[in-house]
Structure 1
Amino acid sequence: MQEAEPQVSSLARKIDRLFEVVRRANREPFSNEEVARACRDASGESFSTTYLWQLRTGRRDNPTKRHLEALAAFFQVPAAYFFDDGQAAEIADQLELLGALRDAGVRSVALRAVALSPEALDTVSDLIDIIGRREAQRGGTPRDSTE
């Protein structure tokens, strides 16, 4: 009988998502070590690299409020991201948008679209949908977010 894979907690997914989306200015991800150090400095409490890894992987899932507040401060999200699932979903959507806007091509299209009429925006949206479907049919892959 095969042992079941441990289920990753909601908290672990939330923390890991911050690492995926919130990046340095050069778009490189933050390391567990530098985040743990910053959180340790901010909270004044013990906060090791191993502890952060355990939180990210779901091996530990009961951090102190101060630890979560330090993580929120580091990643510049409200602490409610960790405590309120409704707010967490809204913040996750905003993080997705911010992540997409880091891509120069996406940012350029978005900035040019600001001046368009609602009808023109609908047309652009339809075109993006059509192109996305065609790429999917041809086996194309979405642009790498690190480009």
Structure 2
Amino acid sequence: MAAEESGGACLADRIEQLFRIVRRPNGDPHSNEEVARACREASGESFSATYLWQLRTGRRDNPTKRHLEALARFFEVPVAYFFEDGQSERIAEELALLGALRDAGVREVALRAVTLSPDGLGTISDMIEAIARREREAGTSRSA
């Protein structure tokens, strides 16, 4: 049981994070069946929607190397995402950024910022940090 609580939960969290952030082009989440079907085709092994649900919820924590490779291929992340904490954190940050860029308002600000000088970017960064700090203090941030 201890292995499920530590390693299983970590793997489950990482898989779940991929489902939360990596979406279809229209913004809808991928279904277990859709991902399992793609993984079956990629790995040539049995890979059911139920098995994927078990991995996502931590009820199973022992996928084969080929299963993880198929998941990594589907979500377009390196297989190391599932194992290496440093790599996982970096990839998770990149995925979070991609998720934020799906928001039209964030995307518009990012596209406008591309043309700014380093000084201009610094000023915008300072302003964003000041607003975020004020919202955290007031308890009105997006995550609140």
Provide TM-score, normalisation by structure 2.
0.87
Q: How many residues align?
A: 139
Q: 1 or 2, which has the higher helix percentage? A: 2
Specify every segment of 5 or more residues in structure 2 that has no aligned partner in the other structure, as ranges. none
Let me know the Cα RMSD of the aligned residues. 1.8
Q: Which amino acid aligns with 1:92?
A: A
Residues 1-147 of structure 1 mapped to structure 2, 5 A cutoff = 9-142=9-142
1:45 Cα deviation after fit = 0.8
Query: Could you tell me how far 1:12 is from its partner in structure 2?
Result: 0.7
Deviation at 1:134, TM superposition (A): 2.9
What letter corresponds to residue 22 of structure 1 in structure 2?
A: V
TM-score (norm 1): 0.86
Report the AA paired with residue 13 of structure 2. R
Residues 95-125 of structure 1, C-alpha deviations (whole Å, 9 max, x = no match): 1111111111111111111221222111111
Letter in 1 for 2:35: V
Find the aligned partners of 1:64 and 1:79 in 2 and give their Cα distance.
Answer: 12
Counterpart of 2:59, as a letter, is: R
Task: Tell me which residue corresponds to 1:3.
Answer: none
For residue 107 of structure 2, what is the amino acid of its counterpart? R
Q: How far apart are the structure 2 equivalents of 1:39 and 1:30?
A: 13
Deviates more, 1:18-27 or 1:29-38: 29-38
| Runs of at least 4 residues off by over 6 Å | none
Amino acid across the alignment from 1:108: E
